[in-house]
């Protein structure tokens, strides 16, 4: 099929501009196209094939069979293979080396991780210079809105990058989903439909099917376009500040094993915005992927730096600590803790399966409960929802974990709380730690933290309950 209508040619030209511009793909490159069989990825494959002779491009397709949807997924794989054979595009097909469902990771996150690992492996094997993904302007809008609702900062609101890490490019990021649907319909291009994309159990689907249509109907008819444009603006800001922070960090940082020391006086000469980015760059360099680093953590480090009290310190995710004294010192505890798992985002409200802990966290939101009426017990805890800092995640314990127990004045080690509760050593790595952006709020089955208590002025109550699975 060779598109010949003016609209099709305009769409192909738009993809060409995205490749040569934001995606930074050079003519003559080999592109690995990720093809699920859905309309967006199928449209991307056809558009790149139509563009290939003139850009020019060498195409190779890739399809990953997650082994999660039974016969439907088998049909997807067959459909993609037949489509690629008909178009004359070589196909790399793959499937998981191990079961997707694994300890401490949601099936969706595990599937995404396995898919990207396959795509990167396929790119190396085929000599591809880029991996093309079919994310659209609508996907970008959904991502930005989801992150806005959980309190993301500029980095989160920048959304998905047109040219991302590990060879990933998104040439359709400026194209609406509706435009691609018209393209495949007008050219009678077949595709597959994944029913899970309409399942309201997933937050993104609820955002897509309910929230954004309501906003466009009642508030702003061009909400998707506006959200995507907002992401592009934030990305420009992020790129500028990241570059400036990297230069500043090199000037003021002293590095040693498990430690970064920042010259406090020099750091305070930078404006507060750049200071935050320098602190984030230093902490992430030290932490790597050991824990979620949110804006609230950076703000805590900012207050520590500005107070200038020698010896004062705060805990950071991943067993790290920031301490003031002769500058700002960020250290990381290198001691491993058993079979670490998580963090796993909690569905609020909803059920979150934690295979590593052998339990389900059930979250329910209630209105108008008085402190006297909230249920109590080791496996249930109630919180003032408005006083929490989402997102909430569940994870295993980490070195250096501390919390302020309910009814206590000072903090104490999670390890000490587990010992006091007589939790057997062999079970401690299955204990569920629940935290928000402000830190630990509950050690399930052991003790709740002092934060976000239910009071007479609380209007919305979050109930968290652990349901232990039989093993």
- 199 with 276, same domain: the answer is no
- 23 with 132, same domain: the answer is yes
Percentage above 70 pLDDT, the chain: 92
Nearest-angstrom CA–CA distance, 325 and 234: 34
Q: Is residue 248 part of a domain?
A: no
- Encode pLDDT of 262-282 as tens digits: 998 899 999 999 999 999 888
CATH number of 138's domain: 3.40.50.620
Which pLDDT band, with edges at 50, 70 and 90, does 434 fall under? very high
**Cα 449 off chain centre by:** 26
Give whole-number Cα distances, 89 to 42, 49, 82, 382, 396, in Å. 12, 8, 10, 56, 45
3-state secondary structure of 230: helix
3-state secondary structure of 399: coil
- 311 with 366, same domain: the answer is no
Whether residue 54 is predicted with pLDDT greater than 70 in this model: the reply is yes
Which pLDDT band, with edges at 50, 70 and 90, does 152 fall under? confident
- 270 with 224, same domain: the answer is no
Please indicate whether residue 340 or residue 148 has the higher confidence score (pLDDT): 148
Q: Is residue 1 part of a domain?
A: no
Whether residue 337 is predicted with pLDDT greater than 70 in this model: the reply is no
- 141 with 216, same domain: the answer is yes
Tell me what pLDDT residue 91 has: 97
Nearest-angstrom CA–CA distance, 407 and 417: 14
Q: Which residue among 215, 230, 245 closes a domain?
A: 230
Q: If you average pLDDT over residues 340-366, what whole number do you get?
A: 84
Q: Is residue 388 part of a domain?
A: yes
Helix and strand numbers (H, E) in the chain are 14, 21
Q: Is residue 242 part of a domain?
A: no
Q: Is residue 339 part of a domain?
A: no
β-strand partners of 433 = 395, 443
- 432 with 457, same domain: the answer is yes
> For residues 360 and 469, is the Cβ–Cβ distance under 8 A?
yes
Q: Is residue 244 part of a domain?
A: no
Take residue 44 and report the two structure tokens written for it.
Answer: 């991307």
Provide the mean pLDDT of the chain: 86
CATH number of 392's domain: 3.50.40.10
Nearest-angstrom CA–CA distance, 7 and 148: 34
Domain of 392? 344-468
- 317 with 368, same domain: the answer is no
Take residue 181 and report the two structure tokens written for it.
Answer: 């649907």
Q: Which residue among 332, 363, 384 closes a domain?
A: 332
- Encode pLDDT of 172-229 as tens digits: 999 999 999 999 999 999 999 988 788 787 788 899 999 999 999 999 999 999 999 9
- 207 with 297, same domain: the answer is no
Q: If you average pLDDT over residues 161-168, what whole number do you get?
A: 86
Which letter, b or e, does each residue of 169-189 get, where b requires 16 or more Cβ atoms within 10 Å of its Cβ?
bbbbbbbbbebbeebbeebeb
- 80 with 205, same domain: the answer is yes
Residue with the two structure tokens 């590095």 = 255
- Encode pLDDT of 114-144 as tens digits: 888 899 899 999 999 999 999 999 999 999 9
Q: If you average pLDDT over residues 435-457, what whole number do you get?
A: 90
Whether residue 231 is predicted with pLDDT greater than 90 in this model: the reply is yes
CATH number of 326's domain: 3.30.465.60
Q: If you average pLDDT over residues 318-341, what whole number do you get?
A: 73
Q: Is residue 310 part of a domain?
A: yes
DSSP strands (E only) in 247-388: 253-256, 259-262, 313-316, 320-324, 328-332, 344-345, 350-354, 359-367, 380-384
Please indicate whether residue 250 or residue 357 has the higher confidence score (pLDDT): 250
- 111 with 18, same domain: the answer is yes
- 353 with 375, same domain: the answer is yes
Q: Which residue among 194, 214, 230 closes a domain?
A: 230
Give whole-number Cα distances, 50 to 13, 296, 367, 468, in Å. 10, 47, 56, 54
- 16 with 133, same domain: the answer is yes
For the ranges 78-82, 146-150, 169-173, 355-359, the lowest mean pLDDT is seen at 355-359
Tell me what pLDDT residue 335 has: 45
Q: Is residue 328 part of a domain?
A: yes
How many domains are there within the chain?
Answer: 3
> For residues 137 and 104, is the Cβ–Cβ distance under 8 A?
no
Q: If you average pLDDT over residues 41-54, what whole number do you get?
A: 96
């Amino acid at each position: 099929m060779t598109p010949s209508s003016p609209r099709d040619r305009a769409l192909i030209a738009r993809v060409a501009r995205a490749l040569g511009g934001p995606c930074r793909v050079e003519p003559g490159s080999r592109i690995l196209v990720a093809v699920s069989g859905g309309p967006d990825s199928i449209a991307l494959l056809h558009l790149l094939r139509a563009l290939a002779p003139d850009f020019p491009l060498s195409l190779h397709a890739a399809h990953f069979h997650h082994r999660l949807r039974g016969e439907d997924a088998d049909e997807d794989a067959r459909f993609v293979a037949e489509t690629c054979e008909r178009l004359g595009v070589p196909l790399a097909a793959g499937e998981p080396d191990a079961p997707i469902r694994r300890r401490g990771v949601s099936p969706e996150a595990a599937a995404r991780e396995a898919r990207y690992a396959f795509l990167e492996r396929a790119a190396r094997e085929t000599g591809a210079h880029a991996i093309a993904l079919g994310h659209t302007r609508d996907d970008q809008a959904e991502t930005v809105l989801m992150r806005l609702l959980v309190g993301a900062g500029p980095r989160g609101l920048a959304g998905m990058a047109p040219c991302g890490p590990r060879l990933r490019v998104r040439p359709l990021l400026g194209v609406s989903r509706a435009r691609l649907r018209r393209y495949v319909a007008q050219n009678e291009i077949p595709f597959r439909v994944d029913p899970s994309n309409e399942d309201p159990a997933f937050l993104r689907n609820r955002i897509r099917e309910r929230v954004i249509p309501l906003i466009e109907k009642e508030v702003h008819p061009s909400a998707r376009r506006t959200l995507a444009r907002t992401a592009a603006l934030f990305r420009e800001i992020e790129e500028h500040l990241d570059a400036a922070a990297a230069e500043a960090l090199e000037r003021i940082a002293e590095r040693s094993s498990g430690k970064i020391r920042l010259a406090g006086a020099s750091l305070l000469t930078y404006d507060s915005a750049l200071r935050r980015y320098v602190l984030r760059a230093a902490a992430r360099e030290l932490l790597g992927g050991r824990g979620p680093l949110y804006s609230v953590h950076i703000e805590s480090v900012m207050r520590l730096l500005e107070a200038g009290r020698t010896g004062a310190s705060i805990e950071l995710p991943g067993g790290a600590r920031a301490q003031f004294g002769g500058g700002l010192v960020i250290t990381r505890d290198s001691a491993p803790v058993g079979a670490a798992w998580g963090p796993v985002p909690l569905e609020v409200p909803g059920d979150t399966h934690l295979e590593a802990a052998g339990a389900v966290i059930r979250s329910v939101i209630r209105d108008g409960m008085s402190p006297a009426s909230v249920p109590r017990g080791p496996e249930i805890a109630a919180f003032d929802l408005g006083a929490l800092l989402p997102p909430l995640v569940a994870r295993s314990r980490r070195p250096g974990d501390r919390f302020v127990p309910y009814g206590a004045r000072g903090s104490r080690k999670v390890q000490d709380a587990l010992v006091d509760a007589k939790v057997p050593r062999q079970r401690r790595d299955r204990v569920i730690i629940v935290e928000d952006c402000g830190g630990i709020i509950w050690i399930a089955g052991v003790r709740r933290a002092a934060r976000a208590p239910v009071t007479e002025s609380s209007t919305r109550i979050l109930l968290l309950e652990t349901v232990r699975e039989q093993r």
